[in-house]
Amino acid sequence: MRKKSEFRIDLRLSNIKIKNVTVDSNGDYHVHVSCCDVDGVKCNRCGQLIATSYGQCEETIIEHLPILDQKTYIHVKWPRFVCNYCNDKPTTSFHPEWLNETGKLTKAYEDYILKCLIHSTDKDVALKNRTTTDVIQGIVERRVSTKTDWNNVSPPAIGMYEIALKKGHDSFLTIVSDISNKGEAKILAVIDGRDKEVILPF
């Protein structure tokens, strides 16, 4: 009989403490955590630092990087704080820096999906990661700008490659990257199309 093997893995997520981990019928990991080391937040209305506790939010389920090709979900109840500076005393929930804008995905997961899109369509990536093309397209829209602020970047070398959005259709994007540092590529912009008419003006 084969002995059971175990290992530890660092999720690299701050402000949480793991309570327990379960595995569902699909083999996916569900990491149940509590929030820690949070004494206050900035009010989303007035911007003042607030520290008066107002309980917790409903449980949020956040998708993180896959482990051993299985999906990983973080289950957490974020603390809420009430603002005594605003007249109607609104509440603001804690939002860690590793969480995306929607509150449903980690930024690390979004980075992973963007890498998966290299030489692949959104449909391919969605199929391989058991998600939807809407989720994939949402990540692209949030994380990749179609314009570049050249006042803040001046790469000595850029690279360009195209990706097909849909197989069998003339629907392409051109990815423009800073390839100045060997082994690294920083995305500068995504151009709608691949023809010289749209590339040369950029």
Tens of pLDDT along 100-154?
A: 999 999 999 999 999 898 888 889 999 999 999 999 999 988 887 767 777 878 8
Distance between CA 136 and CA 122 in Å, rounded? 6
Task: Show contacts of 138-143: CB within 8 Å, 24+ apart.
Answer: 138/102, 139/105, 139/110, 139/113, 139/114, 140/114, 140/190, 142/100, 142/101, 142/110, 143/110, 143/111, 143/114
pLDDT of residue 164: 78
Q: Which pTM does this prediction carry?
A: 0.77
**Nearest partner of 70 among 5, 122, 129, 9, judged by Cα:** 129
pLDDT greater than 60 at residue 1: no
The mean of the pLDDT values for the chain is 90
11 within 8 A of 29, measured Cβ to Cβ: no
What average pLDDT does the segment 50-71 reach?
96
pLDDT of residue 178: 87
Residue 15: left if φ>0, alpha if ψ -120 to 50, beta else—which one?
left
